[in-house]
Amino acid sequence: MGSMIRIFRLPIMGAFFCFSLYGQGYPTSPVSPYLIPFYQDFRKNHDLSVFREFYPLEMSRLNAGKADLPDKHAVFGILPGYQYRSGEDDIASFDFWLSGKMNNITVMAEPVFVSDPFGQSILGTDYVRMNVSGRITNAFIRYYGENIAIQLGRSPLVWGQSWSHSIIHSSLAPTYDHISVRYNLASIQLEVMSGQLAAEKTIEGETVRRLTAGHRFTWIPQHGRWLLGFGEQIIYTGVNRSLEMMYLNPFVPFTFASLEGEEPPENSDNTFIFMYGRFVINPSLSVYAEFLIDDFQVDPDPLQQMLGYKIGVDGARDFFNMPMTWEAEATRIDSWTYIHHGQFSSWQNLGHATGYLYGSDLWSVRLQADAWVRPNLLANLEFTLLEKGTNTLSTPWANADNVGDPFPIPPVVRHLLLDVSISWWGKHTILGAGWSNLPFANEIAYDVMTKPEEGCFYLKLQFLYNLGFNLE
């Protein structure tokens, strides 16, 4: 639902409609058909320059493979769909977005509506009116200059190397309003971000503001064989907390900056440091890694380390003369990573993890692969082995009392998550069938699901149509 369509050369221009029915157990954020060819193209070529761009991506990045997006000044598109799942209640959703481009300026707005009671699991909102929940997931203005880029508004924040399962900041988390400024100097990019997460209320009914800031450096040499990046992000909260300028300086670590301020008595500043990298072995094969330090014990405090690791490999090759792309990842999130003892300062937004989608206290192995069995017939497989401990994003802080606990903290639930499907891609139609037991990610991150998932068969029909035209 985060895909960007570059549409117009007028200030307000064009529309994209998306209507779908999903069943319980479908992934929290269904992948737009327009993103599938992009992911496939990236695994075939590994053009690392894409990591210099804001997300959602521009049309130039999406106009590949079978996306069938017209290269015109203006585009009108419609994507209705239906999905039936055996033994499950259907979920109705409706996406509508407006997007346009004039010179160096891009604008976008995307409201999303889902049927009750799935607003919380899909959108992060429990507000219901007429059995429908809704939220604006994208609403921003973007400027690209020669060496500087600025984006203001609401959009996914994609930091890391795993497109959908980053442990730093996932594209699947509910979006929030922020401003990002990127400055490019040769092969180095500096990004500074400041935003506001959803507020929370105390037992007394007071509203606690939750603000965030971050900065990172990314190095992509001109040869494009590898990239390295590092940075940090902070959540700072309080009843009367407001934007703090000391967290906007990209050259001062947040830990040092917080020591110069008057931190609230609740100790409501929570920082983590991260690193990531990717090495392109050849155009169709690369390895990548992400590393997160939420808390590292250098003092003699009796606390467990709070770290996160991810290592992955992705690529493309022909398999029995069938074009195939694939991705394999291994992830470990320590028991108390993302969880904080400050007031509403754990790494979540609207009841969803902002980092790894399944939260804390876990390890997982994930494999995803797709292959064009025929020029218009796509087979897809996604498998995840996940072992999840007791800790969740809502677990009260108790690290000091659980130093000797094993990892993951018992009782441990093993999840075997599988989605296998095959779909026929016509010029304007996608017809698919498959079997899935993929859950809503927040159900695992917040311990709603305490046993393995039951799967079901599903049928899916989508209709894609795009109409483009020039304005001269």
Q: Where along the chain do its domains lie?
A: 15-469
- Which of 66, 80, 82 is closest to 26 using CA atoms? 82
Query: What pLDDT sits at residue 366?
Result: 97
CA-based nearest residue to 241, from 274, 270, 273, 215: 270
Reply yes or no on whether the pLDDT at 205 is more than 90. Answer: no
What is the average pLDDT across 417-431?
A: 91
Q: Is the pLDDT of residue 471 over 70?
A: no
- For 15-469, CATH number out of 2.40.160.130, 3.40.50.300, 2.170.140.10, 2.60.40.1230 equals 2.40.160.130
The per-residue pLDDT of the chain, averaged, comes to: 82
pLDDT of 281 over the 70 cut? yes
Q: What is the pLDDT at residue 14?
A: 29
CA 450/CA 96 separation, integer angstroms: 35
226-235, 294-303, 356-365, 429-438: segment of lowest average pLDDT: 294-303
The strand pair at 413-425 and 226-238 is best described as: unpaired
pLDDT at 60 over 50: yes
Least confident of 251-255, 282-286, 301-305, 325-329: 301-305
Across residues 315-325, what is the average pLDDT? 91
Q: Residue 108 — pLDDT band, cuts 50, 70, 90?
A: confident
Q: pLDDT digits over 160-199, tens only? A: 999 889 999 988 889 999 999 999 988 999 999 999 999 9
Query: Rounded mean pLDDT of 9-28?
Result: 30
For residue 92, the cross-strand partners are: 21
The band of 25, judged by pLDDT with boundaries at 50, 70 and 90, is: very low
Residues of the chain with pLDDT > 90: what percent?
Answer: 43
* Mean pLDDT of the region 135-159: 91
| φ/ψ (deg, to 5) at 122 | -100, -45
Residues sharing a CB contact under 8 Å with residue 36, sequence separation 6 or more, in sequence order:
65, 66, 67, 370, 378
Looking up tokens 């309003």 gives 177
Rg of the chain on CA atoms, in Å: 22
What is the distance between the alpha carbons of residues 104 and 106, in angstroms, rounded to a whole number? 7
pLDDT at 28: 29
Q: What is the mean pLDDT of residues 239-249?
A: 85
Residue 299, classified by CB atoms within 10 Å of its CB into exposed (0-12), middle (13-18) or buried (19+), is exposed
What is the per-residue pLDDT across 445-463, written as a single tens digit (0 to 9) for each? 987 666 667 888 888 877 7
* Residue-level pLDDT at 20: 34
Q: Look at residue 9 in the predicted model and tell me its pLDDT.
A: 30
pLDDT of residue 134: 87
Question: CB–CB of 363/337 below 8 Å?
Answer: no
Rounded-to-integer distance, Cα 59 and Cα 241, Å: 38
Produce one character per residue of 359-398: b if its CB has 16 or more CB atoms within 10 Å, e if not.
bbbbbbebebbbbbbeeeebbbbbebebebbbbbbebeee
Check pLDDT > 50 for residue 375: yes
Instruction: Round to whole Å and give the CA distance between 212 and 197.
Output: 7
Q: Using CB atoms within 10 Å of the CB of residue 207, give its burial: 0 to 12 exposed, 13 to 18 middle, 19+ buried.
A: exposed
Interatomic CA distance for residues 133 and 116, integer angstroms: 6
- CA torsion angle 66 278 30 361 (round to 10): 160
- Neighbour-count burial of 31, counting CB atoms closer than 10 A to its CB (0-12 exposed, 13-18 middle, 19+ buried): middle
Q: How confident is the model at residue 56 (pLDDT cuts 50, 70, 90)?
A: confident
What average pLDDT score do residues 94-122 get?
A: 79
The band of 4, judged by pLDDT with boundaries at 50, 70 and 90, is very low
Give the pLDDT score at 5.
30
DSSP structure class, residue 397: P
C-alpha distances in Å from residue 321, one per residue of 36, 105, 325, 372, 373: 20, 43, 13, 9, 9
Query: What is the mean pLDDT of the segment spanning 232-238?
Result: 92
| pLDDT, mean of residues 303-317 | 92
Give residue 8's pLDDT.
Answer: 29
DSSP 26: S
pTM, two decimals, is 0.87
Amino acid code (one letter) for 433: A
Tokens 């989608």 belong to which residue? 357
Whether the CB-CB separation of 437 and 403 falls below 8 Å is answered with: no
Cβ neighbour number for residue 186 with a 10 Å cutoff: 10
Average pLDDT over residues 395-407: 80
**What does the pLDDT read at residue 3?**
34
CA dihedral 157, 160, 161, 165 (to 10 degrees): -70
